[in-house]
Amino acid sequence: MAKDLERDLGLLSVVAISIGAMVGSGIFILPALAVKDAGAGIIAAYLLAGVLVLPAALSKAEMATAMPEAGGTYVYIERSMGPLLGTVSGLGTWFSLSFKGALALVGGVPYLVLLFDLPIRPVAITLAAVLILVNILGAEQTGRLQIGIVAVMLVAIGWFVAGGGPAVNTATYGGMWEYGVEGIFAATGLVFVSFAGVTKIASIAEEVEDPDRVIPLGMLGSLAFTTLLYVLVVAVVVGVIPLDQLAGSTTPIADAAEATLGTAGVAAVVLAAILALVSTANAGILSSSRYPFAMSRDGLAPDLLSTVSDRFGTPVTAITLTGGVMLLLILFVPILEIAKLASAFKILVFALINVALIGFRESDAPDYDPSFEVPLYPWTPIFGTLTGFALLTQMGLIAIVGAVGIVIASVVWYLGYVRPRVTREGAIKESVRRSIGDRALDRTEETLDETAETSVLVALPEGASRQSEATLLEVGAALSPTDSSLSVVQFDEVPDQQPLDYASGVQSPDDLEFECRTDTLAATLDTPVEYGELVSHHPERAVANAVEERGVDVLLVERGASFEDSLLGDSIDRIRKQTDCDTIAVDAQPLDALETITLVTTHGPYDPLKVRVGNAVATATGADLQFLYPLDERQSAEERQQLEAYHDDLLDLCDIPTDRSFVDRGDLPAAIDAADSDRTLLIHASNGGLSARTSNGTGTTQSAIQDSDHASMEVDTKRHPGGVVGRLLERLAF
């Protein structure tokens, strides 16, 4: 029987947890580091950071009310954007929290050594080892204890602000803009990590009572309070300590307390700092170790990381790995770079949180029903995403390289480990596929409209066979709209030495046969046929010119036909490259014996022109229409469902009995070969089509079709509304 978590965290506990997660290294350490970038402008930097965190806080609050489950950031991004970005966010958040924990220890120990004459780095390592052991043993920090710790910190900091306020030299604030907007923006990026704890509430959402009300109120309330607190504290520090002295301090808040409140004030600040920083470091180990644990449960990391100790009941491997990373950071990375890397990873993850919200909203997922919604959607998450990536550019080379390195490492890990094991996909990909499928269906419906104006030209080389012309005329008549005529042109090639005006006045036996034959064939069609001959030294160029001059939409030619003698390759392919219309190359075989018209695709939705051709020929010949679609072994259940729904809607658009078949991609050539070659017509993309090129175990689909004995049509569509990008998106989505 499944066990549920007891919802026993009220608004006060939630606010305390959030404030406790924020108030730490952000205020006790970072002012002395950020002042080097912005001077007195660090006051504005803290305020701006609070504002820029707000979109991610709102986004996470909405997602938490829709999915109040353990996991928080990683869960939301993975569910919204799929395992790839889930891997990026999981590793990024894990590193961010590990860096933040290391920052708390490296920056917090100087406050401790104000009381005891001890070396900083060995003490930090010892504290880290103790906290790792505490987490392995499973000692708990209860909600009441957290409230007590936060209460002590707030009393001490409140006394610091109230007691230090009267001693502030307001003239210092006059240099707030001395370092320019760039300096303030750089400092904003550095102190961004100070607000990271605001979203911690989402990771304990399952334990929050009345989450629909408490989660958003807790996040917004704690963010507003902490932002105001930070601004007041930094304003006092800047106002009582010279900026050059502040820039070299390892204990900036204690220095300011000594200048304004004396020994008692220093003692209060040191107590608050030690409580805050040890609490932050412990929370860093606890929270960050949950990410490899959660990723392991989802198949994104080895099972070993989700193994729970029988003795202690804790994920020992995940905690040990996280602790090991923190120890390495303490030993080898300077504090400024730790701070920058912590902020850079957190900025990246917060930007992804905003994108994840857009993914959920636009996916129209039936199980996504938040009780709180982000105001001013979609501009709020868009603003958060853009400003997040803008902040990243101000973090310095090491931080940027670190963030990019995590992304690259995550992608490599995904491709090598996750992709072969996980077939889930995110809400965004489902939404994009649904949207692309809907647009393809709309284009198909428009293309199938018999009243739509379409100019069709049948192009014949001199000496074309009767069967070739008969097949092309039958297809052309089927494609021609009601009350329109079909154009047929025979393109004659004459030597360069012969004047064209002379050649145009000479009727060869082939010309006479063409006219007689076309008259006879046209009499069997319901569509009027207009025909003529065109002489040229270069028939291929003449075809392209005729297409442009007549405004042709669809060019019909025989597969393998040659319009002029050349050693430069396929004549039809050269014509395709010279024209800006859709081209259909048809095998010169009788159509009246057909029983099945099979449309074959390899990636993406079916080309609307292919559907129109198949529907028209099937209607004209009385054959059945079949859609043949290959599936990958890794096709997710969600993708299969969407593909079935797309095919069902597609079948409804057609005029004749229609069926669909799904086959494994590797079995597609065999499925084609199994069809009766005398009674089946294959309609597929040309060699030049993006969707035609796909590898499988026995070669490409295109080669399988070309090697078969089936009659076929090659469709090359030039007029995709999205161009190459649109085709690529279709291929990636399907």
pLDDT band at 330 (very low <50, low <70, confident <90, very high): confident
pLDDT digits (tens, 9 = 90+) for 173-203: 877 888 888 889 889 988 888 887 777 776 6
476 exposed, middle or buried (CB, 10 Å; 0-12, 13-18, 19+)? buried
- Integer Cα distance of 255 and 183 in angstroms: 24
| The predicted structure's pLDDT at residue 706 | 60
Secondary structure (3-state) at 15: helix
Task: Please name the residues in contact with 92: beta carbons below 8 A apart, sequence gap of 6 or more.
Answer: 345, 348, 349, 352, 403, 406, 407, 410
| DSSP string across 582-609 | EEEEE----STT--EEEEE-SSSSPPHH
CB 87 within 8 A of CB 413: yes
pLDDT above 50: residue 541: yes
pLDDT band at 689 (very low <50, low <70, confident <90, very high): very low
Of 504, 495, 575, 496, which Cα lies nearest the Cα of 533? 504
Helix axes 180-191, 335-363, angle to 10 degrees: 80
pLDDT band at 232 (very low <50, low <70, confident <90, very high): very high
pLDDT above 90: residue 385: yes
Task: Please name the residues in contact with 633: beta carbons below 8 A apart, sequence gap of 6 or more.
Answer: 664, 665
CB 626 within 8 A of CB 657: no
From start to end of 394-506, where are the E strands? 456-461, 486-493
pLDDT above 80: residue 555: yes
Length of the chain: 734
**Cα of 72 vs its chain's centroid, Å:** 19
Of 155, 231, 169, 178, which Cα lies nearest the Cα of 37? 178
Per-residue b or e along 251-262, where b marks 16 or more CB atoms closer than 10 Å to that residue's CB: bbbbbbbbbbbe
- Integer Cα distance of 357 and 363 in angstroms: 10
Task: Please name the residues in contact with 472: beta carbons below 8 A apart, sequence gap of 6 or more.
Answer: 458, 460, 488, 556, 557, 558, 586, 588
pLDDT band at 698 (very low <50, low <70, confident <90, very high): very low
CB 598 within 8 A of CB 680: yes
What architecture does CATH give domain 28-424? Up-down Bundle (1.20)
pLDDT above 90: residue 729: no
| The predicted structure's pLDDT at residue 53 | 92
| The predicted structure's pLDDT at residue 384 | 93
CATH topology of domain 445-733: Rossmann fold (3.40.50)
Structure tokens at 357: 């919200």
Secondary structure (3-state) at 732: helix
| The predicted structure's pLDDT at residue 47 | 93
Task: Please name the residues in contact with 133: beta carbons below 8 A apart, sequence gap of 6 or more.
Answer: none
- CATH 3.40.50.12370 maps onto the chain at 445-733
Cβ count near 353 (within 10 Å): 29
Which of 13-27, 80-94, 165-179, 412-426 shows the lowest mean pLDDT across its residues? 13-27
In the chain the first and final C-alpha atoms are separated, in Å, by 38
pLDDT above 60: residue 296: yes
| DSSP string across 144-212 | HHHHHHHHHHHHHHHHHHHHHGGG--GGGGGGTTTTHHHHHHHHHHHHGGGGGGGGHHHHTGGGBSSHH
More confident residue, 627 or 362: 627
Half-sphere exposure of 187 (CA within 13 A, CB side): 29
pLDDT above 80: residue 600: yes
* pLDDT over 90 percentage in the chain: 5
Which of 140-149, 261-270, 707-716, 721-730 shows the lowest mean pLDDT across its residues? 140-149
Q: H or E element: which one contains 437?
A: helix 427-448
**Cα of 541 vs its chain's centroid, Å:** 44
Per the prediction, the chain carries an average pLDDT of 79
> Looking at this protein, which amino acid is placed at residue 657?
P
Mean pLDDT, residues 431-460: 80
| The predicted structure's pLDDT at residue 174 | 78
- Integer Cα distance of 651 and 662 in angstroms: 14
Q: What is the pTM of this model?
A: 0.70
| The predicted structure's pLDDT at residue 231 | 92
pLDDT digits (tens, 9 = 90+) for 656-680: 777 888 877 777 777 777 776 667 7
- CATH 1.20.1740.10 maps onto the chain at 28-424
pLDDT digits (tens, 9 = 90+) for 23-53: 766 788 888 888 888 888 899 999 999 999 9
pLDDT above 60: residue 6: no
CB 77 within 8 A of CB 352: yes
| The predicted structure's pLDDT at residue 203 | 62
pLDDT band at 631 (very low <50, low <70, confident <90, very high): confident
> 598 forms bridges with which residues in the sheet?
626, 682
- Integer Cα distance of 50 and 28 in angstroms: 17
